[in-house]
Amino acid sequence: MIKALIFDFDGTIFDSEFTEYISWKETYDSFGVTLPQDKWLNSIGGVGLFDPYDYLEKLVGRSLEKETILTRRRQRDVALAAQQPVMPGVMDYLLTAKQLGLKTAVASSSEHSWVDASLERLGIIHHFDWISCRDDVGGKAKPNPDVYLAALAALGVAADEALALEDSPNGMIAAQKAGIFCVVVPNQLTSQLPFPQPDYRLTSLADMPLKQLLGHVSANGAPYLNSNAKRIREFHAAVGAPLPISLTMRNVENLALRKKLIDEEYQEVTAVYQQIIAALEAEQELDPVETLTPLAHELADLLYVVYGAIESFGIDADAVFREVHRANLQKAGGPRREDGKILKPPGWQPANVKSVIEKQ
């Protein structure tokens, strides 16, 4: 059960990452050189991964007045940041968290001098039970998990009782290293970055109410994308059609659509099988890659709609599959049909799918 929300700060609560990038880009432009966006993007969420000043001197090819440049750049950054509002959905999440009795914290790679002052300016510092920054943990920034571990300890919750909200790959890795389920919410810069194995992803916190997100986490656990069935749920949430999280009888139109999707994919699978069988019977030379690629693709499409059909009722397809798998394992050692199919041995008991559904 989720008992706490832990927010990243820069880029998640408000988009200071974009303002910092703009202030550095303008600085580079003033010297007639270009700030490489890839170097900047890969450093987001961490500290010391890329030094924009050192790289500026390298591009210009001479020593510069460092303090003057850094002071001017910082003043521009502060001016831009002062115009930035709280990111969409953040206030709704904070208010809902309070209603639900959830604890809240910030876990940031920035220092308290920046985070605390910014939260004060935004008028939301009182919404947080704890603020964990890199100067609390010996300067260890993300992707190290230390700021998250410190937040967990301060809130008095276990890792599996918390939900992290992050905008960058470095932040996501830090949260996951701490054992926390991480919801990735990229901003206009970090949306250009790859996120390997996110637990869940939203384009904005405004896209999904906190209660609905908590329902997904409760039903699926972490990591979110650890099965095909859960990937189906991720797809439906992404397209704005989240599936129910408890047993639900659907209407005629929904059932008819699911049946139609399965029929269409089954026909496409059958057609590819027939083509391959005909070619083999004609003793044609077949390239395995060229031959099996369309078959594997169509079979995966069939799996996709079948999993979707089960999950559309709020039924845990993974739990159903596990029970069927358990029953099928009992067929080991049983008789075989002439075509090779393993038959049920004496005393075999079918899968008790009803018990799985009743538990929901």
- Which active-site residues does the annotation give? 8, 10
Residue 134 CA to residue 107 CA, distance in Å, equals 8
Query: CA 242 from chain center: how many Å?
Result: 15
Kindly give, in sequence order, each residue whose CB lies less than 8 Å from that of residue 253, ignoring residues fewer than 6 positions away: none
| 109 dihedral zone (left: phi>0; alpha: psi -120 to 50; beta) | alpha
How far is the C-alpha of 282 from the C-alpha of 69, rounded, in Å? 75
| DSSP letter string, 19-62 | HHHHHHHHHHHHTT----HHHHHHHTTSSSS--HHHHHHHHHTS
Check if the beta carbon of residue 323 is closer than 8 Å to that of residue 209: no
Q: DSSP class of residue 351?
A: -
